[in-house]
Structure 1
Amino acid sequence: MSDRTGWWNLYRLRDGVVTVVLPIDADCAPAPWEAGYQSYGFGPDGAVVLTVLDGFSTELVAVDPAGERRRLGPNLTSVKPYIAVDGSRLAVIGSTPSSAPGLWSLDLTAQADVSAVPLHADPESESAPPWTPVLPTIDTVLGGGGRVSYLLHRPAGASSSVPLLVRVHPGPTDDVPLRLDWTTQFFVSHGFAVAEVLHRGSTGRGRAFRQVLHGHWGEYDVEDCAVVAEHLRSTGVALTGAIFISGASAGGYTALQAAGHPGPFAGATAISAIIDPARWELSVPEFQRAHAAVLRGPAGAVTPDRIRCPVLVIHGSADTITFAEEAVQFVQDLAALGGDHDSLLLEDGDHYLSAPADREQALRAELDFYRRIMSRPRR
């Protein structure tokens, strides 16, 4: 896999000659900041199956030995970059805007485009919600670095301005999967619009777009999130004074940096957040350190004295990726300066808040935090 053309494409070495399997202006793999991906596989007839990303959706494409391509599983909009082939069957972790990630299977021997079928015994799987989610839209707005794309979820029947939550993906070189996300649905079900921003540095839009964040982490990502928030406020989607930003891990760093700048956000939530990129760089696995080093820039560590709006800090005490003690110290320093801040330390909670009880507690704390801010008298 190489991005020598500016896009992650798969290459074949045969008889000493290197050729591209599927020449396409799209990323056929995520950015390699994590290990263990398997974004391509081999069918029984010699076909190569690939994931093809655009930043929001992921397609499955099969390329036969003659170079002919066909799409697989057109009913899926998001596919994890883990492809498993067993004989004529392909298995993936896939999802749609109305179904959460689950195991899906496809028949590679089918002649026509074939839909994926869920791999579970009960047709009323828990991955299906008890209501019909409102499908999101993909929109763009012009920002300082060009057009910024985002996924927008609005509450059912919303005809006037509503509170807005801007969610920042982790990574920060991640994407915004077009899939059912329970955290997003939680806030939508409580009357919030949710915008998920594909800020500069995200995966799926090629190398130039991904690498533009190098040396500008905490700057360009913050700018793009603010541009989307201001646009949704000016167009009447978002309620002035009720615009919030939330992120986890690297997204938590972006949210905290946004809280330190003048802008549209009335509050920020940082979950399992990176607070000091220089310190975090020393803690990541060695193969990730070059990537962490090239990302960080003048924005530097988040310091309490720069925070300009209420902040909620949520962290697990057993987080092995970011530092609970750093988050606790940050909270204590914030409290010493005063302000309407809040925190939640989850005992034995991990980086991903994997335990259902931790996830529920965090969601309720975040919702209560926003409601408290919105209940304050407006100036």
Structure 2
Amino acid sequence: MASTAPYGTWSSPIDATLAASHDGRPEFVGVVGEEVWWTAPRPAEGGRRTLVRRRADGTEESALPAPWNVRSRVMEYGGAPWAGAARPGTGPLVVFVHFDDQRMYAFEPDGGGTPRPLTPLSPVGGGLRWVDLRLHPERGEVWCVLEEFTGDGPTDLRRVIVAVPLDGSAAEDRAAVRELSDGAHRFVTGPELSPDGRRAAWIAWDHPRMPWDGTVVMVAEVTPGAPFGAARPLLGDLSAVGAAPGGTAAGGGAPGGGEAVAQVAWAPDGTLLYVSDATGWWNLWRADPTATPRAGDGAVPGTPLCPREEEFGGPLWRTGQRWCHPLESGLVAVLHGLGGNNLGILDPETGDLVDVAGPWTEWEPTLAVHGTRVIGVAASPRTGYEVVELDTCTGRARVIGAEHRDVVDPAYCPEPRARVFKGVDGREVHAHIHLPHSPDHTGPQGEAPPFVVWAHGGPTGRSPLVLDLEIAYFTSRGIGVAEVNYGGSTGYGRAYRDRLRGNWGVVDVEDCASVATALAEEGTADRARLAIRGGSAGGWTAAASLASTTVYACGTIIYPVLDLADWADGGTHDFESRYLDSLIGPLAEVPERYRDRAPVSRADRIRAPFLLLQGLEDPVCPPVQCERLLSAIAGRGVRHAYLTFAGEGHGFRRVETMVSALEAELSLYDQVFGLGRTDVPVLPLTT
């Protein structure tokens, strides 16, 4: 029988080590012959990612031992880091990118050998990096995106589509890497080869646009042994064509709201499928690459295949993400939904869409197909991410890898609800509410629990409604969690996404505060015990909230953006170096916004205690951002703690780091909310 105890004081079997050990998810599934492969996290092994191989008989094994770490650093967020092909009689051939040196390696898992390098090292800047690998053994090559540094600065680089020979001749010779595209665009994705092998298609964009602002689909002719020929823009935001030297789109000012194509794929009949938000929603379209371009904009006309006010795509943070995949039958596997991703099978001729049956409510943008099978990665509020296979003939879906197993009684996990709140000016704000939940304890009658508002990163992203043991770590102790998909989040159409344009630090702060205040007003949360936490862009929102509102009693700020002017002036990596043009506005046009909204400029307004967590090898939000905030609050009497972690970058991956971070966060709430806990080390707060 459950005992009555004050919220926030409950005991729980979900400790920080348990939560940290199950952090991460399978990613980048692929089919190699009859086998399914994917990358998987290993938090207890220094945070590396391994390649997992599921053989045809169902056995599952790690194909690469430590210290091999399958992860690319292209655009720092990486992307598809491996590819494989079956070879009758000799076993599979796999190519992958090793995180530590960013070289590409070839590996024959059944040959008894070790991985052999295919690409060279470079002493210039961040070196040579590879991503979105496409293995073409019949051509003796791997096609992929090369990110090549040309100097020591974070933006001294170029990106180009290349062919890497499989014979190892480029292992020590950069000149042996054959360039396929002309480098006219700052950003490119890996090339999709048409069924007849005659054309390649890819997505490109340039500064100051982000890929969700506007992209163009490029198509070129393929000639064996030669660069792509007759490359031309086919469709998308053709205003992005004509980049100036250095990879900046023609025209000044903030990036406009053009058409953003998130993915392209060839259908079996040679037409091109693409995911475009031309209607304000990412929907699936089809175009004939040989059609006559339209008069006026020069784009090839496209046909929507299933027009809906739903999202069939998402933000292209990592090259190699897939929201759709054609099958040999002509049907198309698609991910779609409103505020979440469901897996469905679309008939492009009729527009009929049938969703897969099963408990999964969220599918990751990684899909592979083999015959009539579709393989993806999915989760639910009761299960973590699993590798799932759908048989399109029978409609049956089953877990085939990384199967969820309850490491704790599910009764200790929350039962989240998706809710819509009214924000400033009556605008809708989407959020997931995780109430305190435990089979052992209930709160006192009439007492409202403490609540922590979680602001997701991105900020162009969203929080999925899935099982998260980090959230359960708090809710099972009697602390509620509200994940806010504030204006600017994806999953709700372009108009919702564009709310943040020019308003970062305003709309996100207001929406989080609206949810927190509403929960307090309805009695769901204790008004005096509200906190905010977030990482990366969420760290910005947390810090900006402490500097501009009095809603929160404390906050947890994790690898944040804090100084906008520095971040925009060479203080971050190339991919996001012009992100603030859309989030804030061009620096030259609105310098006062960069000054007035930055938490380092408003440190004198911060009164609430806070915890600052930072990886020392973070190239996206370097430690100097945190150091400037600490200097700005020095001597102001604000209680705070600053924890740094050697070997960690942007996003913590090691068990020991995540344990320290979680326990420190709980200790902060314990001290500020007066909980009286004794099960975590006391976090020293200084002034």
User: Quick one: which of 636, 644, 651 aligns to 1:337?
Assistant: 636
1:153 equivalent to 2:452? Answer: no
Q: Secondary structure at the match of 2:632?
A: helix
Map of 2:582 onto structure 1: 294
User: Quick one: which of 343, 353, 356 aligns to 2:652?
Assistant: 353
In terms of mean alpha carbon deviation, does 365-374 or 284-293 score higher?
Answer: 284-293
The answer to whether the 8 Å contact 2:311/2:337 transfers is: yes
What do the CA deviations read for 1:320-367 (whole angstroms, capped 9, x no partner)?
Answer: 221112213322432432211111111222211111111111000011
Report the Cα distance in structure 2 between the residues aligned to 1:276 and 1:86, rounded to whole angstroms: 48
The answer to whether the 8 Å contact 2:612/2:641 transfers is: yes
1:63 equivalent to 2:346? Answer: yes
Map of 2:503 onto structure 1: 216
Report the Cα distance in structure 2 between the residues aligned to 1:136 and 1:263, rounded to whole angstroms: 27
Map of 2:278 onto structure 1: 4
Opposite residue 136 of structure 1, the aligned amino acid is: P
Report the Cα distance in structure 1 between the residues aligned to 2:458 and 2:285, rounded to whole angstroms: 26
1:242 equivalent to 2:529? Answer: yes
Identity value in percent:
30
Report the Cα distance in structure 2 between the residues aligned to 1:280 and 1:53, rounded to whole angstroms: 34
Opposite residue 206 of structure 1, the aligned amino acid is: G
Q: How does 1:19-30 map to 2 (within 5 A)?
A: 19-30=303-314
Report the Cα distance in structure 2 between the residues aligned to 1:39 and 1:277, rounded to whole angstroms: 33
The 1:280–1:35 alpha-carbon spacing in structure 2 relative to 1, beyond 3 Å, is farther
Shift of 1:100: 1.2
- After TM superposition, the runs of 4+ consecutive aligned structure 1 residues lying more than 6 A away are none
User: Quick one: which of 102, 118, 125 aligns to 2:399?
Assistant: 118
User: Quick one: which of 149, 154, 170 aligns to 2:457?
Assistant: 170
Map of 2:361 onto structure 1: 77
The answer to whether the 8 Å contact 2:283/2:313 transfers is: yes
Shift of 1:251: 0.3
Opposite residue 131 of structure 1, the aligned amino acid is: P
Q: How does 1:94-105 map to 2 (within 5 A)?
A: 94-105=378-389
The 1:336–1:73 alpha-carbon spacing in structure 2 relative to 1, beyond 3 Å, is farther
The answer to whether the 8 Å contact 2:337/2:491 transfers is: yes
Opposite residue 310 of structure 1, the aligned amino acid is: P
In terms of mean alpha carbon deviation, does 23-32 or 203-212 score higher?
Answer: 23-32
Report the Cα distance in structure 2 between the residues aligned to 1:229 and 1:65, rounded to whole angstroms: 43
More helix by share: 1
The answer to whether the 8 Å contact 1:262/1:308 transfers is: no
Report the Cα distance in structure 2 between the residues aligned to 1:172 and 1:34, rounded to whole angstroms: 15
Report the Cα distance in structure 2 between the residues aligned to 1:38 and 1:330, rounded to whole angstroms: 39
Report the Cα distance in structure 1 between the residues aligned to 2:369 and 2:354, rounded to whole angstroms: 17
Opposite residue 490 of structure 2, the aligned amino acid is: T
The answer to whether the 8 Å contact 1:168/1:247 transfers is: yes
The 1:287–1:372 alpha-carbon spacing in structure 2 relative to 1, beyond 3 Å, is closer
Any gaps of 5 or more consecutive residues in structure 1?
none
Opposite residue 302 of structure 1, the aligned amino acid is: P
Q: Secondary structure at the match of 1:357?
A: helix
Q: Secondary structure at the match of 1:260?
A: helix
Q: If you compute each CA radius of gyration, which structure gives the higher value, 1 or 2?
A: 2
Map of 2:50 onto structure 1: none
The answer to whether the 8 Å contact 1:80/1:92 transfers is: yes
Q: Secondary structure at the match of 1:4?
A: coil
Any gaps of 5 or more consecutive residues in structure 2?
1-274, 292-300, 586-592, 677-687
Map of 2:47 onto structure 1: none
Shift of 1:277: 3.2
What do the CA deviations read for 1:185-234 (whole angstroms, capped 9, x no partner)?
Answer: 11111211110111100001111110110110011000000011111111
Shift of 1:259: 0.3
